[in-house]
């Protein structure tokens, strides 16, 4: 079975769950949300993988870039992404990536 490395990232009163798969960020979401089980199930099914709480280089870099972003030192992210979802979801996410900082 494939594995998705996950880690948790907390800033202020918000906690995120991050996941990496084959050297790409495949998930960054609120850790505690109403549809957590549904979202996790979809990602696991589409990647035919299970979550393993283990760090990776991409998760370390994601935390670093998030720290810079939240301290107002970064405006753009340079993280390889693996978008896991329906074609509609992927199209929406691609569109969101085109929106410049502050718009």
Domain ranges of the chain: 2-97
The pair of three-digit structure tokens given for residue 87, joined into one six-digit string: 């074609």
Confidence bin at 64 (pLDDT 50/70/90)? very high
Q: Give me the percent of the chain exceeding a pLDDT of 70.
A: 100
Q: Give me the percent of the chain exceeding a pLDDT of 90.
A: 93
> Model-level pTM?
0.90
For residue 35, is pLDDT > 90?
yes
Fold adopted by 2-97: Double Stranded RNA Binding Domain (3.30.160)
Query: What number is the average pLDDT over the span 62-72?
Result: 95
For residue 51, give Cα distances in angstroms to 17, 27, 54, 56, 68: 11, 11, 9, 13, 27
Q: Residue 44: its pLDDT value, please? A: 97
């Amino acid at each position: 079975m494939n594995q998705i490395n996950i880690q948790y990232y907390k800033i202020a009163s918000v906690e995120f769950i991050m996941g990496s798969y084959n050297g790409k960020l495949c998930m960054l979401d609120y850790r505690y949300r109403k549809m957590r089980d549904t979202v996790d199930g979809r990602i696991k099914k589409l990647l035919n993988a299970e979550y393993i709480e283990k760090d990776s280089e991409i998760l370390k870099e994601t935390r670093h870039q998030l720290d810079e972003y939240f301290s107002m030192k970064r405006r753009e992210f340079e993280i390889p992404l693996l978008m896991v979802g329906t074609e509609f979801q992927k199209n929406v996410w691609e569109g969101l990536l085109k929106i410049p900082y502050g718009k």
